Amino acid sequence: MSRQPESTMRRVLRFTLIVLLLPVILPLATLGLVLHVLNKAVVYLLVWLWWWPRGKDVLYVSSDSPIWKEYMEVEIFPLVAERAVVLSWSDRNKWPKWSFAVRVFHTFGGRRDFNPMVVLFRPFRRTRVFRFLPAFQERKHCNNASIEQLRGDLAQALGRNPG
């Protein structure tokens, strides 16, 4: 079945519509980009000014999932315990709406593979985000290499001996 070519009139109409909407779309897209960058910059600044003086440079997010709860509590949490702000994804319905930790989570967690996760803030550099979900998915298929590599990378980034 062949597709019939689009008529010239229809192409002209589509082009005209796009040209007419560009003055509205471009400023909105620019504003969205500026607000996104501004949010990230303000969150970084507040972490540096508010969390760091209190010895906190890690956001630790996990949940009560039987797939990773024990591993995260035994292998990962001890690496970051004294320097972490902790959020439980299982208790997200109890998270305060205006919590700074929740804003940090939404800013750096993204929309995929955010649980379990460790976000490490470093002085005047980009954050390091350690997303454990893909490693746990591989572990389910008897591949422990990814999770051990991720744990080692986290330990190294924290300045600890990965062993």
**Helix and strand tally (H, E) in the chain?**
6, 4
Q: Return the amino acid letter for 27.
A: P
Residue 122: predicted pLDDT: 87
Q: Measured between alpha carbons, how far is 134 from 68 in angstroms, rounded to an integer?
A: 12
Strands 128-131 and 117-120: antiparallel
* 71-115 per-position pLDDT tens digit: 999 999 999 999 999 999 999 999 998 999 999 999 999 888 889
Mean per-residue pLDDT, 127-151: 91
Run of H or E including 80 = helix 77-80
Residue 111: predicted pLDDT: 87
* 53-65 per-position pLDDT tens digit: 999 999 999 999 9
Q: Measured between alpha carbons, how far is 125 from 105 in angstroms, rounded to an integer?
A: 18
Q: Is pLDDT at 2 greater than 70 in this prediction?
A: no
Residue 139: predicted pLDDT: 87
Q: Whole-structure pTM over 0.85, yes or no? A: no
